[in-house]
Chain A
Amino acid sequence: MTEARYIRNFSIVAHIDHGKSTLADRLLELTGTVAKRDMEAQLLDSMDLERERGITIKAHSVRLLYKARDGNEYQLNLIDTPGHVDFSYEVSRSLSACEGALLVIDASQGVEAQTLANAQLAMNNNLEIVPVINKIDLPGADVEETRRQIEQTLAIDSRDAILISAKQGTGVDEVLEAIVAKIPAPTGSPEAPLQALIFDSWFDSYRGVVVLARVVQGTLVPGMKIRLWSNNQVYTVEQLGILTPTAVPVESLHAGEVGFVIANIKRVADTKIGDTITQDDRPAAEPLPGFEDIKPMVFAGLYPVETSEYESLRDALEKLRLNDSSLFYEPENSAALGFGFRCGFLGLLHMEIVQERLEREFKLNLITTAPGVRYRVTTKDGTVHEIDNPTRFPEPNEIAKIEEPVITALILTQDDYLGGILALAEEKRGIQKGFDYVGPKRVLLTYELPLNEVVLDFYDRLKSVSRGYASLDYHFSGHWESNLVKVDLLVAGEPVDALSFVCHRDHAQIRARSLCERMRKLIPRQLFEVAIQASVGSKIIARENVAAMRKNVLAKCYGGDITRKRKLLEKQKEGKRRMKRVGKVDIPQEAFLAVLRVNE
C-alpha cells in the first residue's frame, strides 16, 4: 500500500490543440510507464475518432510510478478529461477526482476560451493549478505575453509556470517534479466509511461494466458489497485494478487511489458519472458533492436513408448506448422520412460523433433532421410541457408561454474582430454580460445566448467572422421566456413534418423564405404546379412555386434501340418509387438531405 503522502492525483487541461495529449504521452514515456517503442502517438486517445479529431471524448486514467529527486517513489494518477464543452459535466467530475491540474497553454496562441473555462472548473473544484507553457520551441512562441495573459485573464501566479516543449521533451521532467512538489497529497482516511467517486465507466463484453473511480475515503476490496448512491443498487466487487495503461489487478484501492472496479454491473446507465460508491453495510454519512443527472441538450431525428435499415439503426443505437449513457433515443415516425429515432445529445459535437460512429462503425446511411433544443411550453391550462420535437408543439392559440434553454458563453478574441462578433451575438439574440479587456488587444466577452441559436450555426459563424481567432466555451445556465414560434413547411398544402422548426418570431419570415427557396430548387417539377409554403399556425408567411413540368420526352430512336427507351422509363419509374410522397408530390430523399445539411 502506498502511503497517501506518496500519491498525487492530477489532470491535464488545455484548450484544444495546445498539446495536452502530447504532454501526457511524454509523462508516460519519461516515467517508463510505456516504452518509447510502444508509443503510438497520443496513447490515451484510444478511439479512432478521438485520434482523428484530436479530441478526447471519454475520460481515462493511468498510473505512473515516478522516482522523484527527493529519492521517494510516487504514485501519480493521471486522470485525463474529455476535451470538449459538450462534456463539461464529465470534465468537472474528473477534475473533482484530483487534487491538482496541469493547465497547458500554447505559447504561440496564449490563453483561449477553453483554457479559461477549464481553469475556472479546476478552481471551482479547489484544485491546485500548475501552469505549463508549451510549444516554447515554436517560432511564434511568446512566453512573456503568455505569462501576462495567465496573470490577467486567469488571475493565476505565472512566475512558477513551467516552460516546456512537449513535442521535443524539453522541461517535461520539471513538470513531474512540480506535480510532486505543488499538488497536495490526498487526505481521506482509509479506515473511514467508503466514499468513491465514479468518473467514468464503459461496457466490456466479457466483464460487464467497468467503473473508473477515485477512492476519497475508506478502502475497496474484492468481495465487498457496495452500493451506488443514486439508485441504491447493491453489487459485489469482483475485481479491482489499475491502468498502467494496461489493466493490472490489485488487492485493494485505498483512500486517495484511483482504479477500476468490476462488480457484475450490467448497464452503463446504472453507473452515473459523479455518483458515489459506498459500502452497503457501512455506508458513508453523505454522498460526494456535485452529482447531477445529466440531460441531453440537443435533439435531432435520425432516419435511415433506406427504410429497410430501421432495425439496424435501432441495434446500433442500443450498442452505442451501452457505452454512452448520455445518448438518449426513442422511436419517432415522420410522414416524410418514415421510421427513425428522436435522439438527444449533450451537444453538437456529441451529436456529430454519434452520427459518425453510426455511419462508420455500423455502415448506416442516415438523414439527420436540423438539430434543436428542448423547450418548456406552458399551455393556457397551466400545464408545462417539455418539447424537443417541433411537430409536438401545441397550436399557437393554446400556448401561454414558451421558455428556451440559455447558455453562458465565454468568447476570447483579438479586438480586431469585435465588430463582427458583437453583430453576430446580437443577431443570435445574445445578451452581453461582460466585456473585459484582458490584454492590450484581447477581449473576453461573456454572453447569455439561446441554445437553439448556438446549435444552428453559431460556432461556424463565429469562426468565420473572427477568421478562426475567437475561441468559445459555454455552459448551460437556465431558461428564459421568449417569443418563439413554430414554422411549418407545406408542400402542395401538406405539412412536411421533418422540416418544421422553432425560431424567434422576428426571424421566422426570413428563415421561412430561405427554406422555401431552397425547397423550390430541390423539388423536381411535377405534372402540376406545386406550392411550397411556410406557415405559423394557419398564417402563411412565405411562398414559392415549382412550375409544372414542361418536358419529359425521348425524341430520338437510336436505330431501333427500344431496350434503351424501356430502361429509361423503368429508371424514371423506379426513381419515383424511391421518392418520399408528401400528399401527391414526389420529393427526392436528396432534397431532404440537402435542405437539412445546408447551412444558411
Chain B
Amino acid sequence: MDSLGLYIQVPFCASKCSFCNFSSRVARRDVYDRYCQALATELERLPEFYRASSIGENVLEIPVDSAYLGGGTPSLLESVRLEKLATAIQQRFQFGSKPEFTIEVTPGSADESFLQHIRRLGINRLSIGAQSFLDRELRSVGRLHSGEDTRALVRTARAQGFANISLDLIAGLPHQTEASWSESVQSLIALRPEHVSVYLFEIDEKSRLGSEVLKHGVHYHAGSLPDEDFVADAYDHARESLREAGYLQYEISNYALPGYESRHNRKYWQLQPYLGLGAGAHSCDGQSRWENVTAVEEYQSRLEHGQSPISERHRLTTKAQVEEFFFLGLRQTSGVNLAEAVDRWGGEHIARLTARIDSLEEHGWLERRDGRLCLADKALLLSNEIFQEFVSA
C-alpha cells in the first residue's frame, strides 16, 4: 500500500440547489460547532471504531497524499473551525511531503481573508462549483451566486497564491441553450483553471428538480429542462472546446492541464484506499467498503454517546473487486491493464469476462490503446450500458 486519501464530509449548505441529489441540508451556525466536535471525536477514536467493525487499523498508518473537504459547502464552517479540523487531521494522520489538499468552495461564500487563512492551513487546491456562468440559469436552480462571483473568486484565489483550481460545470440545467452552454464553457476556459469537471444533470428522485421531472411537473423550472440530445451535444461540445484549449480528458467527466489530474478522484477509480469522515462519508481499504450514518443528528448523537458512526460495512469478494476494477477503471481514458488484473486476482476471474470483452470490442464500444483496454469515444456517454456487462445482477 502506497498512499491514503481522506475525505471529510461537511453536509451543510446556505441553501439547497434544486439539482442536488447529495445529502446536505441548510442548518443554523450553532449546529456547525456540534458537528465539528463530532468530527473531532470520530478522528480521535477511529482505531477503536475500526477494531469494532473488523477493519484493519493498519490503514490508519498509510501516509496521506490527498485530503478533500467536500460537501455540502465546507467553506461555511469558516476559518476558525476549519483550522481546528485541519490541525486534528494533520495530528491524526501521517501526511506525505506534497499532499493535495482540496476544499470545495461556492462562489460568494469565500472572501480574501478566508482564502488567505485556509492557504496557511495547507489547503492548496480549490474546487469551485461554478455550474454555469449565466445568472438566469444559476438563479433557476437556486444558486445564490452569479457568474461574476465565480470570476471574482478565481481572481482572488490566484492573488492569494492558489495554483491549483478546479471549476465545475453542469450540462442539462433548466433554460440552457446551445449558445448559453457555449458561453459558459468559454467563460470557464478564459479563467484557465488547472482542472475542470463537466457534470451532466442526473434526473433521479433524489433531487427536487429530478423528482419534479419524473412526475412531469413544472416546478423548479422542470418544464425548461433541455432534453437528452441537448445534454449529449453539450458534453461533446465541452469535450471538444477543452481539448482545443489544451486540457486533457482523463476521465468521463474530468479534464486537466498536464500534471493536474486530481489525485483524490483517481483513488476512487483505481481501488486505492480512502477514508471518509463525517455524516454519510464513504470509505474503502481495498478489501471492504463502509459508510457512516447519513443523518447528521444520528451521526452526532452516536459520537456523543461514544458509539461508532459506521453503519454499514461489506467485504468485497474477489468477484466484486474484479467488477469494480472494470466499471471504475474504464471510466479513465487510460482504461485498465488486463495483465494487472490477472496478477491481482488470477486468470480465471478475468477469463470469465473474456467473451463479453471481445463482444464489446467487436461492436466498437471498447478498444485497445497502448496495450490497455479503454472505452471508445462513442462509449463515454453510454458507459453505464457498457459497465452493466461487468456487474452481475
Contacts and interface: CB of A to CB of B under 8 A. Distances in A.
B62 to A, nearest CB: 16
A570 to B, nearest CB: 4
B2 interface: no
Interface stretch (B38-46, B80-88, B137-145, B276-284): B276-284
B391 A573 contact: yes
Nearest to B382: A552
Interface in B283-303: 283-284, 289, 291
Interface residues of A, number: 29
A53 interface: no
B200 interface: yes
Contacts of A155: none
Given A562-B289, A563-B291, 13 more contacts: A551-B232, A552-B381, A552-B385, A553-B380, A553-B384, A554-B202, A559-B9, A562-B282, A562-B328, A563-B289, A566-B324, A566-B327, A566-B391
A577 B280 CA distance: 31
Interface in A135-191: none
A561 interface: yes
Nearest to A577: B393
A553 B324 CA distance: 16
B393 A553 contact: no
A552 B384 CA distance: 6
A556 B199 contact: yes
A571 to B, nearest CB: 8
Contact of A560 (B198, B276, B385, B387): B276
A558 B284 CA distance: 14
Nearest to A569: B391
Interface of B: 7, 9, 22, 68, 70, 198-200, 202, 228-229, 231-232, 235, 252-253, 265, 267-268, 274, 276, 280-284, 289, 291, 323-324, 327-328, 380-385, 387-388, 391, 393
A566 B325 CA distance: 12
Given A550-B381, A551-B381, A568-B384, A556 B202 contact: yes
A565 B391 CA distance: 11
A571 B391 CA distance: 10
B384 A554 contact: yes
A547 B228 CA distance: 11
Contacts of B267: 560
Nearest to A558: B22
Nearest to A568: B384
Nearest to B320: A566
Contact of A550 (B232, B281, B282): B232
B282 to A, nearest CB: 4
A108 B268 CA distance: 76
Nearest to B265: A557
B391 A570 contact: yes
Contacts of A561: 282, 291
Interface in A521-546: 525, 527
27 contacts: A549-B385, A551-B200, A552-B382, A553-B200, A553-B380, A553-B382, A554-B202, A554-B383, A555-B200, A555-B202, A556-B202, A556-B253, A558-B282, A559-B68, A559-B70, A559-B276, A560-B267, A560-B276, A560-B282, A562-B282, A562-B328, A569-B384, A570-B391, A571-B393, A573-B388, A573-B393, A574-B393
Contacts of B380: 553
Contacts of B391: 566, 569-570, 573
A560 B292 CA distance: 12
Given A560-B268, A569-B387, A551 B393 contact: no
A572 interface: yes
A261 to B, nearest CB: 58
